[in-house]
Amino acid sequence: MNETITILAIESSCDDTSASVLQNNRVLSNLIATQDVHKKFGGVVPELASRAHQAHIWPVVSEALKQAQITLPQIDAVAFTQGPGLLGSLLVGASFAKGLAWSLNKPLLAVNHMQAHILAHFIENKQNHYPEFPFLCLTVSGGHTQLVLVHAPHHFELIGQTIDDAIGEAFDKTAKLLGLPYPGGPLIDKYAQAGNPNAFQWPTPNVGEFDFSFSGVKTSVLYFLQKQIKTNPKFIEENLNDICASVQHHLVNLVIDKLQFAEKKYKTHNLAIAGGVSANSQIRKALNQLAEKMNTKIYIPPFEYCTDNAAMIGIAGYLLYKNKQFSSLSAKPTARLQLS
Ligand code: KG4
Ligand code: ZN
C-alpha cells in the first residue's frame, strides 16, 4: 500500500487527554493535556478524570488538527484507545471517536493501549531504527508490567507479568511515602542522580520465571521508614537521594534481570522497553549495559512516546488500517482488555 493514510488518534485511558495526527508512520502533531486536578489527592481519581477528559477532548483534538494543518475531511480513519484503562475515561474517548468517525463516514480503529506502547517503536525516526521481529519488549508503566515476545505487528505473546502492583506504582507509592507529589516516578529519578544506589537493601520477591512482584518492596520501604523516623524524625530529609537511588536501582534490577532470563531462553537478539517507566534514566542505562553484555540490539522509544500519548495510538491504528482490521461502531471500551 503506497497511498498516504491520515489518521486522527485519541488516547484517554487514564489521566492524560491526548490527540495526534499521523500520515502513515509519521507524526504531524501530538498534543497532551495533563490533568493537574489529581495532584492534591496523590493519585488519579477516576470520576474527576472522566470529567476532565470531557472538558479537554475537543480543544485537544482541534489543536492537534491545527498544528498538523489537517482539516476533518482529510482524515482517513479515527483511532481510539479501547482499553485497558479507567472505564469512565475510556468511554469519553471512545464516544468522541465513534461520533466523529460516523459523521465523517470514515473507518474506526479500536486500539489496545498496551500494544500501542510497544508499537510506538514503529513511529518514524531519523535513525530509521525499528525493532526486528521477533523481539522481546519489557513494558513498564503505571498500570502494567509485562514481558512480551513480539512475533509480528499484530502477534503478541505475553510471557510474564506482575502478580500485584505495576513498577510505575512502586515508584509512585515510594514517592508518596517520601512526601513527594504524584506522579513521583520522575522525581525519584531526579533525586536518585545524586544518591548511592547501594545505600539501602530491598527484598527480592520469589515469583514465577518471567513474572514480577513489587508490593513487597513498597511495604518494606514503608516499614523501614517508620522504624528510622522513630529514632531520627529528619531521616527522609537527610537521606532522600540515597533512598531514591537505592529503591530505583533495585526496581530496575528486578525487571532487567527478568529481561535477561527471557533473552537467554528466546535468543531474539532484539530487546526493547516501552511504557511510562522507560523514561527512567537508570532503566535506559541498564538496558544499554545488558545489550553490551549479551550482544543484542536495543530499542528505546523517544521520551515523548514513552508516557501515555495519542501518537502511539495512531501508529497502532495505522498498522491495523494496513491490515484492514477496522472496528464497528459498537466496539466496547474494556477496562481489563488483555494484550492479545
Ligand atoms: O505509561 P504511562 O504514562 O501510563 C500508564 O499507562 O500507566 O506510565 C506512567 C508511569 C507513572 O507511574 C510514572 O511515575 C512513571 O510512568 N514514570 C517514571 C518516569 N517517568 C514516568 N518512573 C520512573 N522514572 C521516570 N523518569
Ligand atoms: Zn500507558
Pick the closest to residue 214 from 168, 178, 176 (CA basis).
168
Nearest CA, atom 22, ligand 1: 185
Give the amino acid at 75.
Answer: I
Whether pLDDT at 82 is above 70: yes
Closest to 212 measured CA to CA, from 163, 250, 172, 253: 163
Q: Inform me whether the pLDDT recorded for 71 exceeds 80.
A: yes
Which of 32, 115, 173, 277 most suits a substitution to test ligand 1, by most atoms within 8 Å of the C-beta? Answer: 277
Q: How confident is the model at residue 2 (pLDDT cuts 50, 70, 90)?
A: low
Query: Can you give the pLDDT at residue 212?
Result: 98
pLDDT of residue 45: 83
Q: What is the DSSP letter of 13?
A: S
Tell me the CA–centroid distance for residue 205 and ligand 2, in Å.
24
**SS3 label, residue 115:** helix
Helix axes 235-266, 167-177, angle to 10 degrees: 170
List, for residues 123-170, the tens digit of each pLDDT value. Answer: 999 999 999 999 999 999 999 999 999 999 989 999 999 999 999 999
Query: 257 CA to middle of ligand 1, Å?
Result: 20
| Residue located nearest, by CA, to atom 7 of ligand 1 | 142
Residue 1 has pLDDT above 70, yes or no: no
Q: How far is the CA of 236 from the centre of ligand 1 (A)?
A: 23
Mean pLDDT of 183-202: 97
User: Which of the residue ranges 15-19, 20-24, 186-190 would you say has the lowest mean pLDDT?
Assistant: 15-19
Mean pLDDT of 76-99: 97
pLDDT digits (tens, 9 = 90+) for 48-62: 989 999 999 999 999
Distance 142 CA to ligand 2 centre (A): 7
Q: For the full predicted model, state whether its pTM sits above 0.85.
A: yes
**Ligand number, closest to the Cα atom of 273:** 1
Binding pocket residue ranges, ligand 1, CB within 6 Å = 14, 141-143, 168, 171-172, 183, 185-186, 189, 275-277, 279-280, 307-308
Nearest of 287, 284, 279 to residue 306 by alpha carbon: 279
- Distance (angstroms) between ligand 2 centre and the Cα of 12 equals 10
